Amino acid sequence: MSDDTRLIHAGKHAEPLARTVGPPIQKGSTVLLPNAAALYDDANHLTYGRAGLSAQACLQDALATLEGADGVTLYPSGIAAISGAMLALLGAGDEVLVVDNVYKPVRRFCDSVLKRFGVTVSYFDPATAPDRLVGEASDAVRMILLESPGSLSFEMQDVPAIAALAKARGILTAIDNTWAAGILFRPLDHGVDVSIQALTKYVGGHSDVFMGSAAARDPAVVRRLADGINHMGWAVSGEDAYAILRGLRTLPVRMERQGASGLRVAAWLRDQPEVAALFHPALPGCPDHALWARDFKGACGLFGFALRPAPEAAVDAFLDALTVFGLGFSWGGFESLAISCDPQLKPRRFPKDYGGPLIRLHVGLEDPDDLIADLRAGLDAYARLAV
Ligand SMILES: *Cc1c(COP(=O)(O)O)cnc(C)c1O
């Protein structure tokens, strides 16, 4: 054969891969099939790389174990997982009920895309009683989308009650379970049909990879989600799947440490004179603590608090004085972060008075004493400008 041909076929591994602890990161769009009959035998052969190779398959397997699921689909981001699940399960003429404390980009997707495709979107107050929510749902309602606790203002819903009532009416339930990361709360065990996560946050854990997942048990739902991936053409890379799987290995220990540190910081904050209210469902006395205590087995490091009302300059001074906390969106990584929330609350249908400017903290793996000292310095800067 000529050099051209030999170069195309040279250097191919013929031996089985060495068995490492993690999966091989295979790169490939083309998958070579063993014979002509296999070309169109999708049931028994992986025929194309877009469906994911070894690292993606291992991650799906591990996530199925985490979530107690029969099928897990992977998406290139958390928001893609939520939009993907909705596109796969909803159609024109359907109505979806979305909790009002939902992650803001989800609201944007619902209002600009779902509505354009003929899906009616209705928001409900997170405090709505489950029997009222489901009892008053129109016959067009096909899905209820929950987020509990909400990742900005931390209201919870009675998820098992809503799931049971919805099931009796043939309504699907889906939840953004990023706060619990599939480890603090397992929605599928509580009757929810689809558990969605931004793996970008705690499962990845290192603030450097985007990915999302949707997990389900019902074979028909699993099938619809998988078809949705195929129809939309979504794919995640082997490198990214590997990185998320690596994060998953240490999820329980990071979560335990960050949850405990977060609770310590939150309890300290509650006693500070500049703080009007704490929003951490795992802290006794906080809103929805009873729901958390009944259904959850731990806390992550994400919670909120309200400063006493003060001019915006004082709130900015608080944030600008922080040096251990970074200012940044996202959370679930190893690092502590802070943001002000009020601009994100504006589009809500059921506005609520949180008692003052709402701040969200993500407590990372730093020593909580250093975080508390940093917050004290921030509160001092706030107090100088608060009237
Ligand atoms: C970050 C986040 C998402 C979206 O994840 P991306 O990977 O950034 O798209 C969805 N839900 C919640 C609650 C989040 O915090």
Which residues line the pocket of ligand 1, CB cutoff 6 A?
Answer: 77-79, 103, 151, 176, 178, 198, 200-201, 210, 212, 330
Q: For residue 365, what are the domain limits? A: 251-386
- For residue 129, being part of any structural domain is answered with yes
Q: Any alpha helices (H) in the chain, and if so which ranges?
A: 3-9, 54-67, 78-89, 104-109, 130-135, 159-168, 219-232, 238-249, 251-270, 289-295, 312-321, 342-345, 368-385
- For residue 23, being part of any structural domain is answered with no
More confident residue, 42 or 368: 368
Q: Which atom of ligand 1 is nearest to the CA of 80?
A: 9
pLDDT band of 17, cuts 50, 70, 90:
confident
Q: Which atom of ligand 1 is nearest to the CA of 179?
A: 13
Tell me, yes or no, whether 309 and 339 share the same domain.
yes
Q: Which pLDDT score is estimated for 107?
A: 97
pLDDT band of 33, cuts 50, 70, 90:
very high
Tell me, yes or no, whether 61 and 126 share the same domain.
yes
pLDDT of residue 70 exceeding 80: yes
- For residue 95, being part of any structural domain is answered with yes
Tell me, yes or no, whether 243 and 258 share the same domain.
no
Dmax over CA atoms of the chain, in Å, equals 85
Tell me, yes or no, whether 242 and 262 share the same domain.
no
- Residue 159, domain CATH: 3.40.640.10
Write the residue with the smallest CA distance to atom 6 of ligand 1: 78
Q: Per the structure, how many domains does the chain have?
A: 2
Point out the domain boundary residue: 249, 279, 313: 249
> What is the C-alpha to C-alpha distance for residues 114 and 109, in angstroms, rounded to an integer?
7
pLDDT band of 13, cuts 50, 70, 90:
confident
Which one-letter DSSP state was computed for residue 159?
H
Distance set, CA 140 to CA 84, 106, 126, 167, 358 (Å):
20, 21, 21, 14, 36
Tell me, yes or no, whether 180 and 124 share the same domain.
yes
Tell me, yes or no, whether 140 and 163 share the same domain.
yes
- For residue 30, being part of any structural domain is answered with no
Distance set, CA 203 to CA 26, 211, 242, 320 (Å):
21, 10, 12, 29
- Residue 288, domain CATH: 3.90.1150.10
Tell me, yes or no, whether 229 and 285 share the same domain.
no
Helix axis angle, 312-321 relative to 368-385, nearest 10°? 150
Average pLDDT over residues 342-351: 94
Q: Per residue in 159-199, pLDDT tens? A: 999 999 999 999 999 999 999 999 999 999 999 999 999 99
Of the chain, the percentage scoring pLDDT greater than 70 comes to: 100
- For residue 15, being part of any structural domain is answered with no
Point out the domain boundary residue: 195, 227, 249: 249
Q: How far is the CA of 199 from the centre of ligand 1 (A)?
A: 8
pLDDT of residue 342 exceeding 90: yes
- Identify the H or E element spanning 197: strand 194-198
Best mutation site among 106, 201, 213 for ligand 1 pocket (most ligand atoms within 8 Å of CB): 201
- For residue 291, being part of any structural domain is answered with yes
Tell me, yes or no, whether 382 and 319 share the same domain.
yes
- For residue 20, being part of any structural domain is answered with no
Q: Which pLDDT score is estimated for 14?
A: 65
pLDDT of residue 12 exceeding 90: no
Antiparallel, parallel or unpaired: β 302-307 and 275-279: antiparallel
- Arithmetic mean of pLDDT over the chain: 97
Tell me, yes or no, whether 264 and 288 share the same domain.
yes
Write the residue with the smallest CA distance to atom 8 of ligand 1: 78
DSSP letter string, 306-343: EEPS--HHHHHHHHHH-SSSEE-S--SSSS-EEEE-HH
Best mutation site among 106, 153, 178, 203 for ligand 1 pocket (most ligand atoms within 8 Å of CB): 178
Point out the domain boundary residue: 194, 227, 249: 249
Which range among 37-51, 177-191, 272-286 shows the weakest confidence by mean pLDDT? 37-51
Q: Which residue do the tokens 């992986």 mark? A: 46
Q: Per residue in 132-149, pLDDT tens? A: 999 999 999 999 999 999
Tell me, yes or no, whether 222 and 286 share the same domain.
no
Tell me, yes or no, whether 256 and 178 share the same domain.
no
- For residue 14, being part of any structural domain is answered with no
Q: Which atom of ligand 1 is nearest to the CA of 199?
A: 7
Q: Could you give the residue numbers annotated as active site?
A: 50, 103, 176, 201
Is pTM beyond 0.75? Reply is: yes
Of the chain, the percentage scoring pLDDT greater than 90 comes to: 96
Q: Which pLDDT score is estimated for 306?
A: 98
Tell me, yes or no, whether 331 and 285 share the same domain.
yes
Phi, psi (rounded to 5 degrees) for 142: -110, -25
The tokens describing 269, both together, are 């904050």
Q: Per residue in 78-125, pLDDT tens? A: 999 999 999 999 999 999 999 999 999 999 999 999 999 999 999 999
Q: How far is the CA of 364 from the centre of ligand 1 (A)?
A: 17
Q: Which pLDDT score is estimated for 16?
A: 79
